[in-house]
Structures are given as C-alpha cells and as structure tokens.
Amino acid sequence: MPSEPAAERIGTGCGENQPRNPGKGEPGHAQSQGQENTAILGGSAGIGLATAALLPERGAEVTGWWDALPEADRRAAFTQFAGQTPVGRNGTAEDVAQAIAALIENDYITGVVLRRRAPAHLNPAGRQSGGGRRCRLNPKPEEALMRPLTEQAILITGATDGHGLALATELAARGATVLLHGRDDARGRQAIADIGARTGNDRLHWLRADLASLDQVRDLADRVLAGHPRLDAMINNAGIGTTTGGSRQRLESRDGYELRFGVNYLAGYLLTRLLLPRMQDCAPARIVNVASAGQAPIDFDDVMLERHYDGTHAYGQSKLAQVMFTLDLAGELDRQRVTANCLHPATYMPTKIVRDDGITPASSLHEGTRATLRLIAAPELDGVTGRYYSGEQKAAPHAQAHDEHARRRLRELSDRLCGLLPADGRPSQN
C-alpha cells in the first residue's frame, strides 16, 4: 500500500483521535453540496490528493484521509473492495483513489472515517482511470453490507445475566434496538432498567419465554414477528450447563426431551427456523449461535441419553448440535443475504453456568463479549458464513460437525421433534 504523509490529530468528544481539518485553500480541502463529512488524511499528495479530487464530485466534503485507519484496517478494507477489481495491487494513484472513494461512499470503512452515504443521485457506475483500467465504484446488490448498528434490531436469548447481559449492554451502547429474552420477568425488567440507565438507549424490549417449552418458543417467535418489523441479527445465547442447580441428574424439558438438548439446541433451532423469513426480508442479516469448545458426538441411537446419562456429555452434544446446525444452515442460505456462524466465546467466563458447575473462571466477560460482537457487527465478516470460531480465531469443531450424513440425520430429527415436518410427513431430502 503506498504511504501517505502523516497528519496532525486532535481529540474529539467521541473519544476518537480525529484528523485536523485543513482550512479552505489547504491541500485536501474541497467544498461540495454533500451534507456529511469524510475524514481524509494524507490528502496532499499521491492517493490522498487523487481521492480528494474525486470525493467532492461524489457528495462529500473532504477534510483529510487514509492514515486515520490502522494499517490492518486499511489493508482489510482495501482487500475487501479494491482487491476484487482490476485495480489489484498495481493500480496507479488514480486507480486506487477511485477504489478508496468507493470504500468510503459504500460504508466499507467505518470508525474513524465518518462518512455515511452519498446523496442518492451521486451513484456513478464507474469512471475511467488515468491508467486506462475501469474500477467498479459501487458494490453489486448481492454484495450489500450490514446496516450500521444504530439501524439494526437484534435479538439475544438468555440476556438477563452473564454473557447475554454483557452483549445486550454493549449493543445498546452502540445504538442498536435490542430485544432481550429471558425467563424471569423481574430480572428482565431490572436488566432493561440497568442497561437504559447505563447507555441512555430507550429502544430496549423485554421478551419472556421458558426455552424448556417449545410452545413458549413458538409464542416468543410470534411476539417478535408481531411487535418488531425488523430483525437484523439474532444471537442464540441461552443455555444451561452440565448441572442444574448443582444437580447432575438427568432432567427433561416440558416436551419430554433431555433438558440440555431441548434448551441449548432445539429451542434455538426452532426459534431460528420461525424467525428466518423475517431475517431474509430484512437482509443482509446475521445469525450467531453461541456454542462451546466442549463438544461431544451425538449417538443417534440414544440422543436423549436414556441409556447412559452424563451431564458433561449431555452439554457437549447439545453444543455440537448447535455447530452442526450452523454449518447446515450456512449451506442452505444465500451468504449475501443471511449468514450463520458460531463460536466458543471464551473459556470459563464468570457466568452462571460456570458458577453452577463449580468451576473457577479463566477468562473475562469482556473477552467473550468482544468475540461475539465481532460476529455480529464486524464489516469484514459480511458474506462470511458457516464458520466456527474459538474466540476471534477460526477453529476446527468436532469431526462430526463435517459429517453431512450426521447433519442430515440431526436436521430430520430436529424437524420432527419441533413439529416442522412438511405436510406429507416426510423429512427434507436437502
């Protein structure tokens, strides 16, 4: 990446270091009728100068540019857009400038670069560069990016404590509309009050349901669909650990299914299936399943563990089922419309599950929240689907997750247990 001159930075009320705005007549400053600003550093030579010349025509007021981003972010942003065009790695300053102008216009660069959208009439399909190559300046419709969090409605199950509560708080602080699920009204109201007081966000909505009952899961989906026209992301986070209130005995859900399989897996499976059409209507959208590194293979001859029960195995197979569902769903959906990914957020966070299992925490809520937020909001993950992460790193799940025959059996079993079979009663052949 060609280097640009450094620029002076000043602090802002937003907590970010922003570039000093050049005055009129200074290099990198230009006037236009655009209503929003773009911070553009290094606008006095090379790529910066070329970009400064382009952006006024595209509805932005140029004040400085590229060095405002960390090197890693610059490379990621450039690769995401310019690397897919004829500009490649060897474009002229004018070529690269066109790509960067498009990156800014189309929200590929966020954070320190503040530009949101150009006026609708400024939407050129391309411009001939000085080097004779053409650079596509706007993404294709199928490459649509996730909306900013301030325009998203996000559902989090298990949002009244631990990881879910931390996620809800962070998303609310970033301006999202947050739908918080839990099974206790008092704790739910308290969570809403606490998050509102801490973040100032009043777009918080409480939804009560016991995920041990698939009827209540269906009712939860109905209330989401009836009360919320948008659903841009959902995080299946709710779950129970290897014990229940310190007890290691086998328990069943209200539907008669092994409790961990029912709550940790089937509830999220059914909820996702019921809400998926709304998410497709609101595309692009993201589904994030909070799984675990503690995975155990599913014995399809004893899924409910009636013959041999062990709480650790019950928990592990429910988490592997989440991973298998994620990979299956990703293969089913158009990645440019809805993505599905899953993760092990962090090891032994200080959550109720860990406390109930008598385990000493080994990582912080911040670590797990950061990893999950990345799957929800990171622009570099647009179109990325069907992955399992450990923290923020791509990882390999249990081998059964990649067994297509096992995934098909799980899908057919899940459809049957959740009452989602087609009218003819036969399982899907997909």
Catalytic (active-site) positions: 315
Residues 137-169, buried b or exposed e (16+ Cβ, 10 A)? bebeeeeeebbebeebbbbbbbbbebbbbbbbb
Work out whether strand 153-156 and strand 177-182 pair parallel, antiparallel, or are unpaired. Answer: parallel
Query: What φ, ψ does residue 388 adopt, rounded to 5°?
Result: -115, 130
Residue 36, beta-bridge partner list: 60
Q: Which residues contact 46 (CB under 8 A, 6 or more apart)?
A: 2, 4, 93
Is the CB of residue 64 less than 8 Å from the CB of residue 92? no
* Radius of gyration from C-alpha coordinates of the chain: 24
Burial of 71 (0-12, 13-18, 19+ CB in 10 A): exposed
Burial of 76 (0-12, 13-18, 19+ CB in 10 A): middle
Give helix 214-227 / helix 267-281 axis angle, nearest 10°: 20
The total of other beta-carbon atoms located within 10 Å of residue 254's CB is 14
What's the Cα-to-Cα distance from 238 to each of 20, 134, 157, 162, rounded to whole Å? 45, 49, 5, 10
What's the Cα-to-Cα distance from 235 to each of 19, 126, 141, 207, 290, rounded to whole Å? 36, 38, 26, 14, 7
The total of other beta-carbon atoms located within 10 Å of residue 12's CB is 10
Single-letter amino acid code for the residue at 3? S
The 3-state DSSP class for residue 344 equals strand
The total of other beta-carbon atoms located within 10 Å of residue 182's CB is 25
DSSP for residue 245: T
What's the Cα-to-Cα distance from 328 to each of 322, 381, 425, rounded to whole Å? 10, 18, 21
- Per the listing, tokens 């966020």 go with 110
Cis peptide before 284 (omega within 30 of 0): yes
